[in-house]
Amino acid sequence: MPVPFSRTMRSLSADGARGYLFGFLLLIAILGAWAIWILAGRVSVYAVSTTARLEADGAIVPIQTLYAGRIANNNLVLGRTVKRGETLIELDTNVQQLQLREERMQGDSIAAELGTLNRVIAAETQAMQEEQTAAAVGIQEARARLKEVEAAASFATLDAERKAKLQAEGLIPEMDLARAVSDAQRARATAESLRLAISRQEGEQSTHTTERQSRIETLRRQMNQLAGMRTKSGAAADRLASEVELRRILAPVDGKIGELATLRIGAVVAAGDRLGVIVPTGDVKVVAQFDPAAAFGRIHPGQSARLRLQGFPWTQYGSLKATVTNVANEVRDGSVRVELSPKPDSRLPVQHGLPGSTEIEVEQISPVSLVLRIAGQMLAPRQPAEPTAKPEPTTKLEAQAR
C-alpha cells in the first residue's frame, strides 16, 4: 500500500504545477490584452445636455387678440388641425358695425352734396361764359355805333366851321350857322354818351364776372371741405372695417391646436390675452441646452448624438439617433443652444413637447488618455470664485429661489 500512495502524490503534484503554469500564462495574456486595449483602444466621450426637448421645426404661434371684446363664436378645439386663414375666434362687432354703417352713410351723403355742388359750379361757369359772350357782343355793337356817331360829329364840326367862314363873309344868315354849331355839339355829346355807356358796360361786365368767380370759388372751397370730410369719413370707415376684420382671429399658419385657454361664448377677453397656441405642421427637431464648457469647441454640426426620452425608459425603448445641425455662438441664460435632427424610430414617438436628455459624441480617445484627463481634472487646484455682489431678485420665482 505505501508504494501506490506515493505514486499518487507525485502525480497530483505534477498536475498542480501544470495548472499553476496555465493560470499564470492566462493571467499574463489577459494583462497583455488589457494593456494593449488601454494604450491603443478607443473609447467615446460624450457631452450630456442639461435639458432637451422635441420641438416643431417652425416657430410656435400664439393665438392672441389685438382688441378687447366679448366672444361671439369659438372654433378652438384642443388637438384640432387648422388651415391658414381659417377662422378660430370671432369677437362681438355690433358696435363697430353700427359705427361703420354710420360712417358709410355720412360718406354717401357727402358724395351727394359734392355732386350737387359740382353741378352748381358747372352752371355758374356756363352762365359766366354766356354773360361774357353777350357782353362782348353788346360792347362791340356799341363801339360800332360810336364810330358812326363820331363820324357824324366830325362831319357836323367841319360843316359848322365851313358855315362860320361863309357867315363871316356874309354869304349865309347867322341862323344857319347857329343850327350847324348846334348839330355839331349834339353829335359830339352823343358820341361822348356812347363812350360813357361802353365804359359802364365794361365795368358792369367786369363786376358780374368777378361776382360769378367769387361764387364759384366759394363753391369750390365748400367742395374741398366736403372732400376732406369725405376722405376723413372714408378713413374712419376703413379703420372700423379693419377693426371688424381684426376681431375675427384667423389661423396664421397650418398646424394643430396645442394649447387652449378656457373660453366660453359670451366671455370677455382683454387685448393681448393668449387664447391658445398653434403647433405648425412639419418636421420636428431636438433643442438641447449644454454647459458652455462642454459645448464650445467640442460640439459641431454633423456630430452623432442620441436622445433619451423621459417617460420612455431607454432600457426598454432604446434611444433616438440624431445629428447635430446648429450650434449657438453665444451663451444665453447660462447655457448654449444646440439643435439636432432626429431620425424617426418606430419604437418611440417623435412629436412636439417631449422632454429628454441628449448625449453627443464629441471625441474618441484611448482609455489611458481618458484616465489621465480625469486624474488631471481631479488634481487640478480649484480657483476661488471672486466675490460678487448678489443681484437683487427681479422676479417672484427668483426671490423664492433665493
Domains of the chain by range and CATH? 39-57+283-378 (2.40.30.170), 62-83+248-274 (no CATH), 95-244 (1.10.287.620)
Closest CA to 237 of 90, 112, 107, 91: 107
Contact partners, residue 219, CB within 8 Å, separation at least 6 = 117, 120, 121, 124
**Residue at grid coordinates 441664460:** 333
Phi then psi dihedrals of residue 321, to 5 deg: -80, 145
The predicted-structure confidence for 51-62, as pLDDT tens digits, reads as follows 898 888 777 788
Residue 45's H or E segment, with its range, is strand 43-48
The predicted-structure confidence for 354-401, as pLDDT tens digits, reads as follows 898 898 888 776 676 666 666 766 666 655 544 444 444 433 333 333
Please give the C-alpha separations between residue 36 and each of 23, 175, 345, in angstroms, as whole numbers. 20, 167, 37
What local confidence, expressed as pLDDT, does residue 283 receive? 80
Question: Which residues in the chain show pLDDT less than 70?
Answer: 1-19, 37-43, 365-366, 368-374, 376-402
Contact partners, residue 70, CB within 8 Å, separation at least 6 = 91, 92, 266, 267, 268
Q: What is the DSSP letter of 84?
A: T
Can you tell me the distance from the alpha carbon of 267 to that of 35, in angstroms, rounded to the nearest whole number? 75
In Å, the largest CA–CA distance within the chain is: 222
Can you tell me the distance from the alpha carbon of 4 to that of 8, in angstroms, rounded to the nearest whole number? 6
What local confidence, expressed as pLDDT, does residue 400 receive? 35
Q: What is the mean pLDDT of the chain?
A: 81
3-state secondary structure of 52: strand
Closest CA to 300 of 313, 312, 290, 311: 290
What local confidence, expressed as pLDDT, does residue 394 receive? 38
